[in-house]
Amino acid sequence: MLHTDGHWVVILSRARAVRDDQDELTGMIIGSHLDITGAQEISDNFTIMQKEFEKIKRQVI
């Protein structure tokens, strides 16, 4: 999602449709957005490190 500051952020979105007492959809949706940019960057860095480790391991063996 594009942040108002102009940079991109990774968002975890969750939403549910609202139902009334007769279990019919009301046309409303309630949800939230959670910024998980930091967690995604850690995961990406781990993946890069893992690939580098495998590359080095193949060179040693």
Q: Cα(48)–Cα(57) distance, rounded to whole angstroms?
A: 14
| pTM score of the predicted model | 0.58
What pLDDT is attached to residue 34?
Answer: 95
For residue range 17-47, list pLDDT tens digits in order.
Answer: 999 999 999 999 999 999 999 999 999 999 9
Domain boundary assignment for the chain: 11-60
Residue 61 has pLDDT above 90, yes or no: no
